[in-house]
Chains A and B, each alone.
Chain A
């Protein structure tokens, strides 16, 4: 699966062009129709083999969290705000790529030597952080990175132990899985795949894509929070690395369709694929917009567990990525209209 190229592509919300180009190249020739909608989402339709097949929406979002330049200071620093949710605590001391031309920049703090003792454990708020690209003053900074320029973490993709590490696995992991499904053999059902934009700023791309696709049901493919670090009181983690695809029952954005949930679990059990449930009530996905499109779409979300999402370096196990693709294949093979009945 083509995770490296996808993860290294520059694509903060609203600026997903590079990711779109990678995906277009990946699925070209494997789908019958492809187009870009008015918000920038990439639609790809893979015809089903049966005339009585369903129209199934599959989505993964292309955008990643990032920073936007909102001003410049006298020293040539770029003042920024976040695009989507970035924890201020992970910005300090990191390198970023500014603009799709990838001007190198760094985010540094006041040196520890010059801090009062109590300041040493204080987080520097975003309004006091700047990106330093080496500009000599306000004018040069403004010329090189005008207001509105976006930036992302500058993290190359690499292997790390038995895992892989890189930026933007939320949701390039989902994009990799979806591209893999499209590149494979056709299913009985017609797949309407959408690589969505602007998930991180409010599920914007998914909302209009679901309306346009008018599907009978939908599956959202994600990279989700793994929270399996040691801690004082062991509780149930959101999800764990290496334990298989993560199935959402309910999060902050939607409640999964029970029939689809049963289908996914049955597919995993029958095919011997490991799976885990995401701890309810945490996070949200494009399914939040999709399940409420038009008069309602039965929806489910399946995710690859990733550590440190929305940070400079995420970690995932290749086996989880493969199991997620496999589970989706098994699920789509078993999918019938019966699964959509309400109980």
Chain B
């Protein structure tokens, strides 16, 4: 598969946290030819199994990428305009003038409107416009709006993927569709490779609202070992420091209490062998990713995390480097294929 068209498809497909239907079906079509079994769990996680070649009962590697995205929901209708509320960490600062789609009885394109600046007192213009002064405008008279839209209907950002220079792309929901793309590319590579372990790829739901998909899917899969893939902060013009990583210079391998040190070491070794550049992402506590939930599933799961640097996270113009997505896929696939049938992460001081 070509990376940029894949990113375009996954970025532009909608899948608000708790309303992941369209993205789940897109991922199902992409994964079905690459795996032996596909199922869904009670929350809507998409769980795909590739049988390994090792002797049964085989250990299971869970590869997880969340497929939900942040957005808005309708919270009221007034004069034909929609009042809205946040789903996940939506950023108030980017809403005025943003294009959206309201998923009512049918999909209605809209724009987030605000009153003109000349009616705003000067001392309020350096403040983001508050929720109660932002409205979604679908360009319809009130009676038609009321017939089409209900309180609670999901609203997603509308943004076609834009190709920037140097293989960078900008779009909505690249958190975390960049990782969903990487996982898809990894499955494609694994379909051509021998791997001893069973591989269970999971496109999780509701990460943005509390890691709920990871909680239930990790329980259902009961993996021997897990690797989550998500995005992290990339260096950008108006912000770069120790929290951020250069874009286009490979994925980040996370270290910290959330991650089993053996997995970290194996990831580094595999990356070195494949000459894949990587960053180390120090994570002193909560990683804020599916890895955080998976690690404490059932009796505990040794877990690792790969992160793809993304600029402008949670804004509808997130930027990612296509080559970082490809490197993440190669690293994930090689890590999975190299797991020996009898390998179990252990502690050095274990008996």
Question: Which A residues have a C-beta under 8 Å from some C-beta of B?
Answer: 73, 75-77, 85, 87-90, 92-95, 103-114, 120-125, 128-130, 132-136, 140, 144, 154-155, 158, 160-165, 225, 227-231, 238, 282-283, 307-313, 315
Contact = CB atoms under 8 A, between A and B. Distances in A.
B128 A122 contact: yes
Contact of B97 (A113, A164, A312): A312
Given A112-B313, A311-B96, 14 more contacts: A93-B94, A93-B316, A94-B98, A106-B317, A108-B312, A122-B126, A122-B128, A134-B167, A134-B168, A161-B140, A225-B116, A231-B133, A308-B97, A312-B99
A93 B98 contact: yes
A201 B165 CA distance: 31
A144 B165 contact: yes
Q: Which has the most chain A C-beta neighbours within 10 Å: B99, B110, B248? A: B99
Q: DSSP majority for the A interface?
A: loop
A142 to B, nearest CB: 13
A111 B317 contact: no
B313 A165 contact: no
B165 A140 contact: yes
Q: Which has the most chain A C-beta neighbours within 10 Å: B141, B164, B165, B237? A: B237
Interface stretch (B61-69, B85-93, B196-204, B291-299): B85-93
Interface stretch (B32-40, B117-125, B265-273): B117-125
Given A93-B315, A134-B165, A307 B113 contact: yes
A329 to B, nearest CB: 26
B129 interface: yes
Given A92-B93, A105-B164, A114 B239 contact: yes
Contacts, number: 209
Given A132-B311, A229-B114, A308-B113, A161 B138 contact: yes
5 tightest A-B CB contacts, nearest first? A93-B94, A108-B312, A134-B164, A161-B139, A77-B237
B238 A124 contact: yes
Nearest to A230: B78
Given A75-B235, A110-B239, A229-B113, A161 B165 contact: no
Contacts of B248: 136
Interface string B163-174: 111111010000
B313 A120 contact: no
Given A95-B162, A123-B126, A135-B166, A114 B243 contact: yes
Interface residues of B, number: 66
A227 B163 CA distance: 35
Q: Which has the most chain A C-beta neighbours within 10 Å: B96, B170, B233? A: B96
Contacts of B91: 93, 109, 112, 120
30 contacts: A75-B235, A85-B117, A89-B129, A93-B98, A94-B97, A106-B164, A108-B315, A111-B315, A120-B93, A122-B126, A129-B238, A135-B165, A136-B165, A136-B166, A136-B248, A155-B99, A160-B109, A160-B138, A161-B139, A227-B116, A227-B119, A229-B81, A229-B114, A230-B79, A307-B113, A307-B137, A308-B97, A308-B116, A311-B96, A315-B113
